[in-house]
Amino acid sequence: MARMSGTGLADSTDMPSDVTDHPERSDGSGGMLLVISGPSGVGKTTIRDVILESAPGSFFSVSATTREKTPADRDGIDYHFMTDAEFDACVERDEFLEHATFAGNRYGTLRAPVEEALAQGRLALLDVDVVGARNIKRMAPGAFFLFFMPPSKDELLRRLRARKRESEEAIQRRFAVASKEIDEAESSGIYDEVVINDDLVSAIANTLEIVERERAKRGSAPG
């Protein structure tokens, strides 16, 4: 798993499925499945949005969930909101590329739109946690896996506090989850590269360089 920080690249230390036909195609269509993960507070959403903006025609997979919809949520944009029965039906019909339960709610990546985007030679981006990435790795080993890391756990805690969105108790809970996710990512062997976000501008530039390089390997025109 190679590590890339804001200053450069450091030394680096299966199963078939329906989607493995697409992530590394040899017919020049260049569809690429990009799977990103990272703890809360690492700047992942900002970097994700830049990736999508840099690649016209790219596809972002909106997760399905059984969690309760809030007034701020937009169905089909933030999440595809489902009842448990609807989620169960999707599982039975094998409509999820991966699915898992987190904090009592269920989340899943719908298979069909991802496969369609890849078949069209587009960049398909999935934003999942380490558990989701592990499930996708088993099914689509040809995908590219990227993890966003803070410079240190202490810095991550500082950033969570600096947002001033939650109580200290809530921050500590979020930090505990984030710390566990970092540890799992480090030991998982899932991720092809790690971008350390010690400087957002440099982290974005390094990420775009990685994505452009990997898309070029698959025959798709960058951006």
Domain boundaries along the sequence of the chain = 2-217
Q: For 2-217, CATH number?
A: 3.40.50.300
Contact 157, 166 (CB under 8 A): no
* 3: exposed, middle or buried (Cβ count in 10 Å: 0-12, 13-18, 19+): middle
Q: Distance (Å, rounded) from C-alpha 204 to C-alpha 207?
A: 5
Tens of each residue's pLDDT in the chain, 223 residues: 555 444 322 223 333 233 333 333 333 346 899 999 999 889 999 999 999 999 999 999 999 999 999 999 999 999 999 999 999 999 999 999 999 888 789 999 999 999 999 999 999 999 999 989 999 998 888 999 999 999 999 999 999 999 888 999 999 999 999 999 999 999 999 999 999 999 999 999 999 999 999 999 887 554 4
pLDDT value at position 199? Answer: 94
Please say whether the beta carbons of 114 and 127 come within 8 A.
no
From the number of C-beta atoms within 10 Å of its C-beta (0-12, 13-18, 19+), residue 26 rates as exposed
- The span from the first CA to the last CA of the chain, in angstroms, equals 25
Per residue in 160-195, pLDDT (tens digit) is: 999 888 999 999 999 999 999 999 999 999 999 999
Q: What is the DSSP string of 127-189?
A: E--HHHHHHHHHH-TTSEEEEEE-S-HHHHHHHHHHT--S-HHHHHHHHHHHHHHHHHHHHH-
What is the predicted pLDDT for the residue at 201? 97
Largest separation between any pair of C-alpha atoms in the chain: 53
pLDDT at position 218, please? 83
**Residue in 130, 173, 191, 204 with CA at minimum distance from that of residue 3:** 191
What pLDDT was estimated at residue 2?
A: 54
Q: Supply the pLDDT for residue 118.
A: 93
Indicate whether this model's pTM tops 0.75.
yes
Q: Which residue has the tokens 């062997």?
A: 189
